[in-house]
C-alpha cells in the first residue's frame, strides 16, 4: 500500500487527500523525454493492464482534518508566538516519529569528513506538513544526503507549477536526481530509490516505510498544520541565492525553521547533519558549534543558530511589504 499527498492540496476547500495502489520497485519504468533529456520514472501498478476504475472521492476525514489544522494553527505565522509552546509541540512531534531521521546510518560517515560541499544533485519538491514528504526527508538524514528543497505549500505561486510541468501532475513529494536523470513521485518509491543508489548496500531502517501510516500524521496534527499553507504576505519572487539550513529531520528547533521556509515558499539548501554526519565539520566551521539548526542567508549575510531569531528575520525580510 502506498500513499501520497496529491494536487488536491491546492484546492481551497479540500487541502489533502490520500490515494493508494500497489507499487513495487521492479515494475518501475524509465521513460526518456527527448525534449529536455530527462528520464522520468513511472510507477506501474499490478492493475495497469486492467480497466481503471473511477477514482474514489477524497477521504472525508482528511477533507475535514486539513482545513481544521489550518484553522487552529495559530493564525498569522509572522505574529508573536509562545515559544515555550512551540518547542513543546515540536518536541512531541519528534517523539512521535521515534528515532527516524535523527542520525546517519552510512558507515563511512564518521571516517570520511566533508571539508567542502560538492555540487548538490538532488532536488526535492515537498511541503513540511506532508507526512509522506517527511518520510523522504527522514531517509535523506539517514543517508547523509544534502538536497535542494523547493517548498510547495498550499497556495504556491511558483514551485507547484514546476512540478506540474515537469512530472505532469501536482503530487508530493517529487524528487529529481540530476546525477541519474531520474524524476519520480511516491514517497515509498523515492525512499527505496535513494537507499538503492546512495545507501551503500543498506536497506531502509526498520519500520521507516510502514511507519507513515501509523505515526506519520502525528507531527502534522501536533504542530496544527504548520508548514502547510503559503503566508499571504510572502514575496512572489525568490531571493537571488538559495538560503542554507543545517538541520536534521527529527530536530524540534530545526522543524520550526523549516515550517517558516515552507510558508514563505523560500527555496533552500538543506544540509543534513544528523548524528555521525560527514558534514559536521562544515557545520562547525560555519557556526563554531555542532548544534542545529544553523541558518545562513547568503543574500544578506545573516547567520543564526537560534530559531527565535531566525523566524522574525525570515518573515520581516521576505515579506512583500518590504519590496
Q: Would you tell me which CATH number, out of the four given (3.40.50.300, 3.40.30.10, 1.10.287.110, 3.30.1370.60), belongs to the domain 76-322?
A: 3.40.30.10
Domain coordinates in residue numbering, the chain:
76-322
pTM, two decimals, is 0.79
**What tens digit of pLDDT does each residue of 165-209 get?**
999 999 999 999 999 999 999 999 999 999 999 998 888 877 788
- In this prediction, residues 294-303 reach a mean pLDDT of 98
**What tens digit of pLDDT does each residue of 14-53 get?**
333 333 333 333 333 333 343 443 433 333 333 333 333 3
Instruction: Work out whether the CA dihedral 46, 50, 55, 60 comes out positive or negative.
Output: negative
Give the residue with greater pLDDT, 99 vs 258. Answer: 258
* DSSP output for 142-163: HTT--EEEEE--BT-SSHHHHH
pLDDT at 63: 47
Q: Is the pLDDT of residue 128 over 70?
A: yes
**What tens digit of pLDDT does each residue of 129-148 get?**
999 999 999 999 999 999 99
What CA–CA distance (Å, rounded) separates 313 from 153?
A: 20
Cβ proximity of 70 and 15 under 8 Å: yes
How many Cα neighbours within 13 Å face the side chain of 202? 18
**What tens digit of pLDDT does each residue of 56-102 get?**
333 344 445 555 555 555 678 998 899 999 999 999 999 988 888 88
Cell of 55: 477514482
Amino acid at each position: 500500500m502506498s500513499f501520497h499527498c496529491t494536487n488536491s492540496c491546492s484546492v481551497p476547500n479540500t487541502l489533502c487527500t490520500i490515494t493508494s495502489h500497489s507499487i513495487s520497485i521492479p515494475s518501475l519504468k524509465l521513460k526518456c523525454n527527448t525534449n529536455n533529456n530527462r528520464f522520468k520514472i513511472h510507477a506501474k501498478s499490478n492493475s495497469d493492464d486492467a480497466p481503471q476504475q473511477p477514482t474514489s472521492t477524497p477521504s472525508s476525514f482528511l477533507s475535514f482534518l486539513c482545513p481544521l489544522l489550518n484553522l487552529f494553527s495559530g493564525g498569522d505565522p509572522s505574529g508573536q508566538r509562545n515559544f515555550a509552546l512551540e518547542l513543546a509541540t515540536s518536541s512531541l512531534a519528534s517523539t512521535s516519529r521515534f528515532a527516524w531521521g535523527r542520525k546517519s546510518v552510512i558507515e563511512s560517515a564518521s571516517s570520511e569528513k566533508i571539508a567542502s560541499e560538492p555540487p548538490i544533485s538532488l532536488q526535492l519538491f515537498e511541503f513540511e506538513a506532508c507526512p509522506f514528504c517527511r518520510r523522504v526527508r527522514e531517509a535523506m538524514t539517514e543517508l547523509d544526503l544534502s538536497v535542494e528543497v523547493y517548498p510547495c505549500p498550499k497556495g504556491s505561486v511558483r514551485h507547484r507549477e514546476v512540478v506540474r510541468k515537469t512530472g505532469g501532475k501536482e503530487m508530493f513529494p517529487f524528487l529529481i536526481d540530476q546525477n541519474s536523470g531520474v524524476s519520480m513521485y511516491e514517497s515509498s518509491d523515492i525512499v527505496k530509490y535513494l537507499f538503492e543508489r546512495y545507501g551503500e548496500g543498506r536497506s531502509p531502517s526498520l519500520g521507516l516505510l510502514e511507519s507513515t501510516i501509523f505515526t506519520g500524521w502525528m507531527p502534522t496534527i501536533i504542530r496544527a498544520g504548520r508548514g502547510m499553507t503559503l503566508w499571504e504576505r510572502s514575496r512572489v519572487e525568490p531571493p537571488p541565492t538559495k538560503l542554507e539550513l543545517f538541520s536534521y529531520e527529527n530536530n524540534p528547533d530545526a522543524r520550526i525553521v523549516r515550517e517558516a521556509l515552507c510558508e514563505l515558499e523560500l527555496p533552500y539548501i538543506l544540509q543534513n547533519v544528523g548524528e555521525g554526519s560527514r558534514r559536521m565539520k562544515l557545520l562547525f566551521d560555519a557556526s563554531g558549534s555542532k548544534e542545529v539548526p544553523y541558518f545562513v542567508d547568503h543574500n544578506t549575510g545573516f547567520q543564526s543558530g537560534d530559531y527565535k531569531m531566525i523566524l522574525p528575520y525570515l518573515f520581516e525580510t521576505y515579506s512583500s511589504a518590504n519590496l
